[in-house]
């Protein structure tokens, strides 16, 4: 099991959280998604580590959001 926390910009409400949760939940191997709109943190639990590009693609698909990378 792998758990990773990402920072996502552009979230403002529970609809944003729902959209991101749905899209990330559709990524193969993802078992749980937790979104904190206030902090912009998205925690994803998965069977194995996810490719950053897969996470980014799901977040972009959810709407006007952006994955922040360090």
How far does Cα 54 stand from its chain's mean position? 10
Q: Decide: 43 and 5 in contact? Cβ < 8 Å.
A: yes
Q: Residue 34: give its domain's CATH number.
A: 3.30.70.100
Structural domain including 48 reads 2-68
Quick check: 54 pLDDT over 70?
yes
Q: What is the mean pLDDT of residues 7-35?
A: 97
Alpha helix positions (H), 1-70: 14-25, 52-62
Handedness of CA 45, 29, 19, 66 (dihedral sign): positive
Mean pLDDT of 9-17: 97
Domain count, the chain: 1
**Average pLDDT over every residue of 52-59:** 96
């Amino acid at each position: 099991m792998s758990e990773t926390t990402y920072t996502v910009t552009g979230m403002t409400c529970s609809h944003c959280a729902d959209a991101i949760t749905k899209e990330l939940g559709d990524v193969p191997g993802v078992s749980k998604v937790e979104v904190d709109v206030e902090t912009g943190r998205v925690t994803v639990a998965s069977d194995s580590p996810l490719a950053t590009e897969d996470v980014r693609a799901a977040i972009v698909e959810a709407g006007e959001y952006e994955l922040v990378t360090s």
